Structures are given as C-alpha cells and as structure tokens.
C-alpha cells in the first residue's frame, strides 16, 4: 500500500473512532469557558461583609441544614467549603450539587442555587461516564487527535510539496 493511501486510511478511520469523545470534550469545553458568564451553569459569586471569617464550623453546618434543597444533615453531605475572605463569603457545596453562599461574618444566606459546572467538568474529563474514563478513553482520544493532526498536515502539504518539486 502506498504511503498516501495508507495516510488517508489512517486519517479516515481514526477520525471516525474519536469523533464522539472529541465532540463531548469540545461541547463541554465551550460550556466551561462561559461558566462564569452564565448563571445557569455556575451561580454568580455574591459579596458579604469584607472582613475576616468569624463563623465557627458548627454554625456553618447549622446554617447549611436550614436549606432544604441542599439536603444537608451532617458533614458527610457537604462536598466542600470555599472560603473567600476578600469577598466576605463562604460557599458551601453539597453532595447534590447545590451551592449555598453565606456571609462569612453574619451567617446570612446570600444565595442558594444549583451548581452545574461540576457536572459539566466531569463530562468534560470523562469521569461522569466511568471513574477512570479520563485514562482509558480521553487519553487515547487525545493521542488519536494528535495522529489526526499529523496525518492532516501531511495530506494538506503533499500537493504543495509535489508542485514545488516539479518547478
């Protein structure tokens, strides 16, 4: 088989195999690029009193328990706390992807909203589908995309190189 024919075959079949994983990565990547501008994806960050956080952890948990949609009963129901002293804010992310933003000084609830950016990130890196999908699906897809780039450049440049040799 000639090099040109083999190169075209590789380019064609690799593109068919990686089309779906790359489409998922591209579309979720676009959503992640605009997540701060679209409140449906990630709630906007509010501002509290600009002072050092003064709420004890037990008070933070009791405030979080008052938000029924977050379904928080104990610390196991909290995914993470994000403390932003410069904004006077504590973000509480529940396991069910709700975000509660409270004033770090008074404990006032500033915002409660569904946070979809974490879900989109897990789709983007493949872990939504399976825990290790980023290694056995996304990594091979990235390597295949590199092969596509190389074979595509060869396909593009070959006619120009032939034309240059004839001159």
- Judge if 36 and 56 occupy the same domain: no
Query: What phi, psi does 31 have (nearest 5°)?
Result: -60, -40
Q: What percent of the chain has pLDDT over 70?
A: 99
Which of the two residues, 2 and 62, has the higher pLDDT score? 62
- Judge if 103 and 58 occupy the same domain: yes
CB atoms within 10 A of CB 115: 20
Q: Which helix (H) or strand (E) holds 102?
A: strand 98-103
pLDDT band at 54 (very low <50, low <70, confident <90, very high): confident
- Judge if 128 and 100 occupy the same domain: no
pLDDT band at 33 (very low <50, low <70, confident <90, very high): very high
Q: How many domains does the chain have?
A: 2
pLDDT band at 62 (very low <50, low <70, confident <90, very high): very high
- Judge if 93 and 122 occupy the same domain: no
- Judge if 50 and 101 occupy the same domain: yes
Look up the domain containing 149 and give its range.
1-41+117-167
pLDDT band at 1 (very low <50, low <70, confident <90, very high): low
Compute, in degrees rounded to 10, the torsion defined by CA atoms 11, 139, 116, 42. Answer: -90
pLDDT (tens digit per residue) in 82-132: 999 989 999 999 999 999 999 998 999 999 999 999 899 999 888 888 888
- Judge if 106 and 54 occupy the same domain: yes
Evaluate if residue 134 carries a pLDDT over 90: no
- Judge if 34 and 50 occupy the same domain: no
Beta strands 98-103 and 109-114, pairing class: antiparallel
**Final residue before a domain boundary, out of 115, 139, 157:** 115
- Judge if 37 and 60 occupy the same domain: no
Give the chain's count of helices (H) and strands (E): 5, 4
- Judge if 35 and 48 occupy the same domain: no
- CATH number, domain at 76? 3.10.450
- Judge if 67 and 107 occupy the same domain: yes
Evaluate if residue 13 carries a pLDDT over 70: yes
- Judge if 68 and 124 occupy the same domain: no
pLDDT (tens digit per residue) in 79-91: 999 999 989 999 9
């Amino acid at each position: 088989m000639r090099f040109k024919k083999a190169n075209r075959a590789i380019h064609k079949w690799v593109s068919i195999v990686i089309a779906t994983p790359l489409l998922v990565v591209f579309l979720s990547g676009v959503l992640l690029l605009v997540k701060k501008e679209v409140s449906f994806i990630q709630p906007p960050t509010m501002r509290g009193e600009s002072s050092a956080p003064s709420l004890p952890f037990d008070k933070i948990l009791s405030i979080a328990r008052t938000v029924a949609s977050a379904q928080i009963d104990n610390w196991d129901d909290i995914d993470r706390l994000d403390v932003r002293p410069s904004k006077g804010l504590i973000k509480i992310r529940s396991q069910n992807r709700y975000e509660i933003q409270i004033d770090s000084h008074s404990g006032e609830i500033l915002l409660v909203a569904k946070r979809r950016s974490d879900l989109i990130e897990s789709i983007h890196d493949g872990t939504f589908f399976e825990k290790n999908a980023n290694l056995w699906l996304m990594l091979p897809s990235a390597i295949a995309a590199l092969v596509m780039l190389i074979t595509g450049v060869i396909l593009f440049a070959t006619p120009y190189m032939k034309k240059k040799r004839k001159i």
